[in-house]
């Protein structure tokens, strides 16, 4: 468990109270929480739960598991690219197939490494998002608004305090969303699909293809 796991548990009751007030009484007209609710499309507790569900360790393990695959593709590509010691039509046909295989394996190695890089980038985003939300929750837990929400019923003061807490939490989650969208756009062009066809003496087969998604 990290800081977010601990502070999210501590903040659960406060967020439940905030949501109860907002559902019953709404938020003040023109309050910054309204566009944030439209942006995130979730109330604070649900939004916090989505970030808590992010587990960077799982992505780190997945990236580590892919490293041997990238190395294997690289080695097979280098092996296929070596010239043969014999000549003739059969040697020429073999060399053509070997060159195609070498090019495919080198590209697959590059793509696996790109996938590893993407997983590492997403891991960093998840860790940053969790840390930022932990700080926000720690701040709202000790705020004057939290005291008001816990001690007052649906008074104008309590409604304003609930809206302020919700806005702080949702703003942090919205920032995480924005960083995620930017990360996706940054990596979209580097992650591609690679159609593979089995090699044969007559060239690429025209039968069923398989696609490696990286």
- pLDDT per position as a tens digit, 69-82: 888 888 888 888 78
> 190-201 b/e with 16+ CB inside 10 Å = b?
eeeeeeeeebee
H-only helix segments in the chain: 3-25, 33-40, 44-52, 56-80, 89-141, 144-151, 156-187
Determine which of 53-57, 86-90, 156-160 has the lowest per-residue pLDDT on average: 86-90
* Residues present in the chain in total: 214
pLDDT score for 64:
86
Closest alpha carbon to 129 in 78, 71, 174:
174
Output the pTM of the full model: 0.76
pLDDT at 210 > cutoff 80: no
- pLDDT per position as a tens digit, 44-66: 999 999 999 998 888 888 888 88
For residue 42, how far is the Cα from the chain centroid? 19
Burial of 21 (0-12, 13-18, 19+ CB in 10 A): buried
């Amino acid at each position: 468990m990290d800081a977010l796991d601990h502070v999210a548990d501590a903040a659960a009751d406060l967020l439940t109270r905030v949501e109860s007030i907002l559902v019953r009484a709404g938020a003040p007209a023109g309050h910054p929480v309204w566009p944030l609710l439209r942006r995130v499309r979730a109330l604070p507790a649900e939004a916090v739960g989505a970030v808590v569900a992010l587990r960077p360790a799982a992505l780190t393990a997945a990236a580590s598991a892919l490293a041997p695959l990238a190395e294997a593709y690289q080695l097979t590509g280098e092996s296929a690219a070596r010239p043969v010691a014999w000549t003739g039509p059969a040697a020429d046909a073999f060399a053509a197939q070997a060159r195609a295989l070498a090019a495919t394996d080198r590209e697959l190695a590059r793509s696996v490494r790109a996938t590893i890089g993407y997983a590492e980038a997403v891991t960093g985003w998840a860790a940053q998002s969790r840390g930022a939300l932990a700080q926000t929750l720690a701040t709202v837990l000790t705020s004057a608004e939290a005291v008001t929400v816990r001690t007052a019923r649906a008074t104008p003061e309590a409604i304003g305090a609930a809206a302020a807490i919700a806005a702080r939490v949702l703003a942090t989650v919205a920032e995480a969303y924005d960083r995620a969208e930017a990360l996706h756009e940054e990596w979209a062009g580097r992650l591609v699909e690679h159609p593979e066809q089995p090699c044969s003496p007559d060239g690429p087969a025209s039968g069923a293809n398989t696609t490696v998604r990286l």
